[in-house]
Structure 1
Amino acid sequence: MTIALNIRLDYDNFNLVSQEQIPLKGITGILGHSGSGKTSLLRIIAGLNANASGTVKFADTTLQNTDKNIFIKSERRNIGFVFQDARLFPHLDVWGNLQFAAKRCQSSRITIDEVISLTQIEHLQSRHIGRLSAGEKQRVALARAILAEPKLLLLDEPLSALDNKARSKMVELLRNINLRLDLPMLYVSHSVVEIQQLADNVLVMENGKVIQRGHVHQVINQLHESVTSSQTIQTSLSLKIQQHLPNFGLTQLGFINAQPGNPRLYANVVNKDINSHLRCYILATDISIVLQKPEETSVINNLHGVINNIQRLSRNSAQITVNACEQDFLVKLTRYSVEKLKLDIGKSVFIQFKANAIRSY
């Protein structure tokens, strides 16, 4: 399935214009600063903004065509929506909110009990909405949306009000739901980390237009300079869990499809099964460059590579791209360091970073 868009919506400060074919497989992230048009795009797909002109086609169904006066109302689009503020019915308890959604679904291929188990809200069923935490409200809102059995689920920054622990739990829940139900999702966020951990493919928006698109690692590793900042320049990659070293509090990681002789990496202990894949990132400021192979150093991860790009970021800093083990690593250095080490494209170097620099959230 795909969502085919050819739409326009005019605002005072910018125009939203989109001509996109979005494959609906897995989770597609929509990334951008506040005001870039992300939420408006979701609302048009959901049928919540009738002011947009143009066409919206979902699989083989035309949801909107202003030239032919076609507009299918939101409640008939079979598209679920999880809002940033949950929007639960405050006069009902959790069970009442779920029952409301279940009664409105005619097919009922999935039961309330199955959804409660899937979203891990068994202990919340009799809880009043006003007594739920932000993370609990979002899990209930997610369960309610799933009970409508949509063919597509839209999520508009549902984790923005959560702390890191609750956010990490929701990311795992969403991944599991996507896989278990084969439910495609469009996920809006301004957080590069959320998108990196959750999305399979990414659209990047700015001023009402899509400026980048592609696989999550590819897009984040080449993130447009207008979207990124020194805090979000990172190397996004997936690694394979090789073994746990509990005596040292470390997990040994390998490159997926590694060639014989490829070095191992070490991260702080990761709670995942052996041979499972870990989606992770390394901030550009956490990687350093040396010219000779480090022999006596406390920095545990060392890789040989070749510089394939140098980009000036500001008067004082530069971004170096080093290809090591067939993976591009982004490194942020001062321009003084670049000149001191005489770094240039094609130069052989070693990159190094600590175990705690490999982050999975």
Structure 2
Amino acid sequence: MPIRLSDHFSYRRLLRFVLATIIMMIVASVYSVVDGFFVSNVLWKNAFAAVNLMMPVVMALGSFGFMIGTGGSTLIAKTLGEGDERRAKDYFTMLICVVVVAGIVLSTIGFIFMPQIAGSLGVSDAIIEDAIVYGRTFILGNIFFMLQNSFQSFLVAAEKPQMGLVISLMAGITNIVLDFLLISVWGLGVFGAAMATIIGQAVGGHIPLMYFWGNRSSRLCFVKARMDFSALGKACVNGSSEMLTNLSVSVVGMLYNIQLIRIAAENGVSAYGVIMYVNFIFMGFFFGYAIGSAPVIGYHYVAKNMAELKSLFIKSLVITGAVSLIMTLLAEAFALPLYKLFLGYDAKLLGITVKGMCL
């Protein structure tokens, strides 16, 4: 039986509704992890350090998609709650157009200034070429990354979270297969790692684009729409916390890398990079829960169902608190076997990484 935004949400119903989005976000987090696994084990630690130095940069440039997706889906759910489906479709179409334009602009800026960005991060001569190649290649697919992040939220607002999960799995499998082929089989190095990721993101961004373009029976689809700066502003304000969370993680990552490259050279950057890979997967749960539950909260807020809102708030605190505790215990217990997957070839680097993770 399908779950509607207007339903009463028990713990079971709430978890069922957000589960697909949580898995979507975890799968999206796996993109960078898979790149890191193949780069580390095939190309070794210098190339791995180059990828880790540039990852926060490209993630920061793609965070605009999180803002539009999260903030826009809340606005759209609110509008659907008011019973105005036509206006919801107008907002949806306009916001996707904004994402496309922003993706083109940010990709162009990032591609042009990537050597300067790499230099500002203190990249050493030993890895700067790999860092620029990876950064420039990855940033060319930034528009797909932003679209995928946005559609993850909009599919929830359209009451199609399971479809979003299937698309994310398809994108993730594409990325994994291409990482193996491009890095291990065809020897394309960090260029191959970046290409595998952006092709996977293209799958995740293109399929929902075609679905919303051709499916007129969906609660959301593309229509002829005009620019509404007021609605755009509301979407940006609503989603600004999501964007700033991603930006803060990226900026902190850049600052750590600048210091680590001075203190411990490539070993320090590699150790921190692997810790962050596992962290990305763990954080995928919380991003997924936030994105998956936002349309539900927006709908009931407009409907003035205060009792349901309070219930959702308490359930959310219980769920996220319990998962936080479980993840902390898992991280402590499985630090060594997790990091052996990435750094089993270097005992010294493995020891540094495991100690850092446990701290």
Same fold (TM over 0.5): no
Larger Rg: 1
Which structure: greater helix fraction?
A: 2
Q: Which has the higher contact order (CA 8 A, sep 6+)?
A: 2
The TM tier, using the shorter chain, reads under 0.3
Which structure: greater strand fraction?
A: 1
